[in-house]
Amino acid sequence: MLEEGWVAGQAQPAAGAATASEVLIVLVAEDEAPIAEIVAAVVEEVAGQPVLAAHGREALHLARQRRPALVITDLMMPHLNGAELIAALRADAAAGGYPTPPIILMTAAGPGPAAEAGADAILRKPFNLDDLEALLRRFLGLT
């Protein structure tokens, strides 16, 4: 299991699209440590600072503290599943008057549950690392 609140690096989030020197916070909510570590490595390679959460409740807490530029969440997690996390993030943003960060949902579930979750993009497990990188670049505004 992941350490709760594990954070790589110390950079602060940047507003808008990243330049070559900016590092953007990317929240990764995944209860399977090997998958979370792979996603974190790709995030770091693309120019993001991964903040890892081992379950949905921790992810919501970290999102409220850190205001990530992007959220990547698993659908099936303890304490809040991915769909519940997405709903809470969108409700927080609406109540706070700020935009919801883009959300990528990782899932091995069929199209029904994934589509109903309301993510901006769906990454089917097992996923190709090139597909993950392309989504990161797209949502972080990198070319």
Convert the pLDDT of each residue in 1-29 to its tens digit: 333 333 333 233 334 444 445 679 999 99
Annotated domain spans of the chain = 24-140
E-only strand ranges, 20-128: 24-29, 48-53, 70-74, 103-107, 121-124
Query: Scanning the structure block, which residue is given the tokens 């409220």?
Result: 64
Tens digits of residue pLDDT in 23-78: 799 999 999 999 999 999 999 999 889 999 999 999 999 999 999 999 999 999 99
- pTM, full prediction: 0.84
Tens digits of residue pLDDT in 92-103: 999 999 999 999
CATH of 24-140, one of 2.60.40.1120, 3.60.20.10, 3.40.50.2300, 3.30.230.10: 3.40.50.2300
What is the pLDDT, as a whole number, of residue 83? 95
